[in-house]
Amino acid sequence: MTAPHLVPCSGQREVDDARALLAASDLTLSGLGEAGVHLWLARDDGGAVVATTGYEASEDGHDVLVRSVAVTPGLRGRGLGLGLASWALERAVEAGAARAWLFSRRSGPFWERAGFTPGDRDEMARRLASTHQVRQFVATGQLGREVAWTRRLSGA
């Protein structure tokens, strides 16, 4: 299944609208509206957010941190999440990224299907030190509890 029609979160209203799905999916909410965070969402016919995807780029743009890939429970299991992740990674490649990273303690098999392999958390933190999520995880001590995943991006 391909990704639904995604629109950029271009303002605080869209970011706020995405938060409920992200909270229900137990994903990080902090920093979603920051300038370096690229976030997209899809709505159903009634206007409810049914999917989100996004990333944050490193200062040099060579690395990205995948964030906010979420699908409403009623649409899960159809390959939509993989489509969302691929779509965001294509946008990252278009912006010049060569490697993607993410944090996931629970969804390793999903991310392996998307081409990710276990990564070095400390290397990830160095490469993505300027991103909001890494800064937050370092500041709160959460970084040491996270599991890093990585993959080289095509076209890079």
Q: Classify residue 78 as exposed, middle or buried by CB count within 10 Å of its CB (0-12, 13-18, 19+).
A: exposed
For 105-151, write each residue's pLDDT tens digit: 888 888 999 999 999 999 999 999 999 989 999 999 999 999 999 99
Q: Are 102 and 147 in contact (CB under 8 A)?
A: no
At 156 the pLDDT is 47
Query: Quick check: 17 pLDDT over 50?
Result: yes
For the entire predicted model, the pTM comes to 0.86
Query: Quick check: 153 pLDDT over 50?
Result: yes
Taking alpha carbons only, the member of 130, 118, 131 closest to residue 68 is 131
d(CA 148, CA 156): 21
Q: What are residue 54's DSSP bridge partners? A: 39, 67
Residue that has been written with the tokens 């939509």 in this structure: 80
